[in-house]
Amino acid sequence: MNLTYPTGRRSSAPRSRLRLPQALRRHETRLRPAADAILRIARVGRDLSARYLAPPSRVLTGAGRGVLLGSLTAWLVGAHFGWLELTVAATAGFISILLSIAFVLGRAPVRVTVRPERWRVPAGETVDLTVELTNRAQRMLLPVGLELAVGPVGNQQPVAVPAPRLGRDQSVIVDDFPPISAERRGVIAIGPATTVRADPLGLLRRTVQWPEVKELIVYPRTVPLSPLGAGLLHDLEGRTDEQISPSDLDFHTLRDYVRGDDRRHIHWRSSARVGSLAPGSQRFLVRQFLQTHSTHLLIAVDGDVASYTDPDQFETAISAAASVARRAIEDRIGATIVVADRQVRDLTDEAALFDACARARFATGGDFGALVARSAGLAPHTSVALLVTGPNADGARLRQVRGGLRPEVAVNALRVDPAKRSGVVPGTAMNVYTLAQLPDLRALLASGGVR
């Protein structure tokens, strides 16, 4: 049997064909040129966007997607039915999108420098912000859209910044940026800055984000207090123990000089007397002291939701604690503060205090008793403690919390309760202060209670 094969050579791989609906397959010959042209345009646009732009889904706006889809539909329908008007409209749509690409190509190398009036402000104030724009390109930069995100961390809102035309290496200061309202305690994030390039028709919109973010610290309101030694603290001169110290405040006795002793502690009168009793003697006597311990103040602020009936009471508690800690810094008293989930050991400047108070979050820190016990381990040399909590912490609860501190620690509890009058209830285990409103704190601590 002889078999005859066709002489034409057939490719092993089938030629890729545009899949069309069943109703259009009979017109495939007429649609093929239009479809091939659309595919070529799509490939060119894909390559350009991959090289110079973000993914097309992020560059095309809603209007751009509508124009692109409408142009594709008009091209297919016009090619099928031979409507010249639809073909012209589709061509105009494609040309508009291609021309729009020229407006979003390239980068906008603008350095954005943010300078707030102050980096730390009390709650309830506004802050003026100066924005400086610098062109880092080696050419003139046309006006671009610029947005600066401003707001609480995780909830920033974009604010438009007018960006004029910038020459080579030119810097411009934008003075009319709206002031930042720092109404509540917290951290306000300034940034990131985003440059926006868009075409006049609004078909394409390309954004480039500059990741730098700066923080504006909004610390709680504080009230000025009298020196703590006049009311809250009573052992500012230090207390002594039986340990001997070569240099301290409390003089104890004299001893013979040994190599390495500080010559400033030589008691010359006693040394001369010893020398007169034994002529030719080179014996010197030095002072010896008892070691003293200065006051260390521990401030612990309860962050447990169960202790408060309103979140504003927690804000008042933080304000009261910050006021006492600020006065301790001014008096040069060693202090440690624990505010809910934030803590600062050995306070020496207000910056660390304000940062901790601004970042503390309500409903954090765990149970108040566990927080105080953890605070005691953080500051083992505590001599005076101030425990700040809400109205739901009754006397039994405060006595339980007090058990987390050593018996010799002088404990004062401060309960924030707007429903009661400010006052104090003295006790053997602790003094319990009631604070109705923040302005009462000065008189409450200075006089032992406001009646």
Read off the tokens for 397.
Answer: 């609860």
* pLDDT exceeds 70 at position 9: no
Q: 54-63, 236-245, 339-348: which has the highest mean pLDDT? A: 339-348
Rg (CA), the chain: 38
Measured between alpha carbons, how far is residue 389 from residues 218, 326, 340, 369, 393 in Å?
A: 22, 19, 10, 11, 7
Q: What is the mean pLDDT of the chain?
A: 80
* Better-predicted residue by pLDDT, 109 or 247: 109
Please give the CATH topology (third level) of the domain spanning 295-447: Rossmann fold (3.40.50)
Please give the CATH topology (third level) of the domain spanning 110-219: Immunoglobulin-like (2.60.40)
What local confidence, expressed as pLDDT, does residue 374 receive?
A: 93
Q: Give the H/E segment covering residue 178.
A: none
pLDDT digits (tens, 9 = 90+) for 23-55: 445 555 555 666 676 677 667 666 655 544 445
What local confidence, expressed as pLDDT, does residue 326 receive?
A: 95
What local confidence, expressed as pLDDT, does residue 77 receive?
A: 86
pLDDT digits (tens, 9 = 90+) for 365-375: 889 999 999 99
Q: Give the H/E segment covering residue 10.
A: none
Q: CA 424 to CA 435: how far, in whole Å?
A: 9
User: What's the N-to-C CA distance of the chain in angstroms?
Assistant: 124
pLDDT digits (tens, 9 = 90+) for 103-157: 777 666 788 888 888 999 999 999 998 888 888 877 777 777 788 999 988 888 9
**330 backbone dihedrals φ, ψ, rounded to 5°:** -65, -35
* pLDDT exceeds 80 at position 402: yes
* Better-predicted residue by pLDDT, 22 or 316: 316
Q: What percent of the chain has pLDDT over 70?
A: 77
Q: CA 360 to CA 125: how far, in whole Å?
A: 19
* pLDDT exceeds 90 at position 319: yes
* pLDDT exceeds 50 at position 170: yes
Look at 138-147, 216-225, 375-384, 401-410 and tell me which has the smallest mean pLDDT. Answer: 138-147
Q: Which one-letter DSSP state was computed for residue 204?
A: B
Q: 228-237, 283-292, 423-432: which has the highest mean pLDDT? A: 423-432
Question: What are the residue ranges spanned by the domains of the chain?
Answer: 22-104, 110-219, 244-292, 295-447
Ramachandran region of residue 332, left (φ > 0), alpha (ψ -120 to 50) or beta? Answer: left
Same fold? 110-219, 295-447: no
Closest CA to 94 of 131, 42, 30: 42
Tell me the pTM.
0.68
What local confidence, expressed as pLDDT, does residue 150 receive?
A: 92
